[in-house]
Amino acid sequence: MRLRGRKGIREDLEQQRDLVVLDPREYKGRWAEAFGNGRPIHIELGMGKGQFISGMSVKYPEVNFIGMDMYDELIRRAGEKVRAIWREQGAERPENVRLALGNVESLEEFFAPGEVERIYLNFSDPWPKKKHWRRRLTHPRFLDKYRALLNERGEIHFKTDSRILFEFSLNSFAACGLQMSDISLSLHEGGVNEGHVMTEYESKFVGQGLPIYRCEVIVGEAALQRYHEHKLERF
């Protein structure tokens, strides 16, 4: 992806320290300090223009959200969206969301083991060519990174419009011995699923009548125990 950013964009982002983190390495192991509380931390990897992370931060004020992307311009656009949605709520500044500039390849440099409770992977690049499969964010080499960062309640929530990527991902989760839950081959079939905050891509694809594939991956021990307890209750 090539983005043409505004002139002086980095200088602008440097003035937004209440929201933007240009070097997430500075907060490794102390993100709770950055937020000023010990609430659970949920991160979205590859947040795009910020529709999902801004919507989630308003819907779940009891959670701290971090939206991460590697492009200055997307950080800028997401920042505008976050501030706008919080102004609609009557808040001067967003308290429970930060936007971090970083590459997923270096994720272990940004977060300490057990520091994260949930990871969102929304409409990641499907990298269709076989020679690029290692770049897919659900490849086992990335799953190993996620498992190291997630705490005992840790989960991965994954959405995509690519059936090829979805099938690949299910196989990756299974190969890594991860428990899957709430698998959907058409999340919004019969109408928009109001329980889910949508991304920009998701809104577009749903409007075109395309299926959205989704699943949750249970990683942490406490999360696994809760999953099995609920499974027994259902049956």
Active site residue ranges: 125
- Read off the amino acid at residue 188: H
161 is in an annotated binding site: yes
201 is in an annotated binding site: yes
R_g over Cα of the chain:
17
216 is in an annotated binding site: no
108 is in an annotated binding site: no
Structure tokens at 96: 């429970």
Burial (CB count within 10 angstroms: exposed 0-12, middle 13-18, buried 19+), residue 24 = buried
23 is in an annotated binding site: no
125 is in an annotated binding site: yes
> What is the DSSP code (8-state) at residue 1?
-
Q: Which of 161, 178, 159, 169 is nearest to 217 (CA)?
A: 178
103 is in an annotated binding site: yes
| H-run or E-run covering 214 | strand 213-218
Residues placed in the known binding site for S-adenosyl-L-methionine? 44, 69, 103, 125
Binding residues for substrate: 129, 161, 199-202
From the annotation, which residues make up the binding site? Answer: 44, 69, 103, 125, 129, 161, 199-202
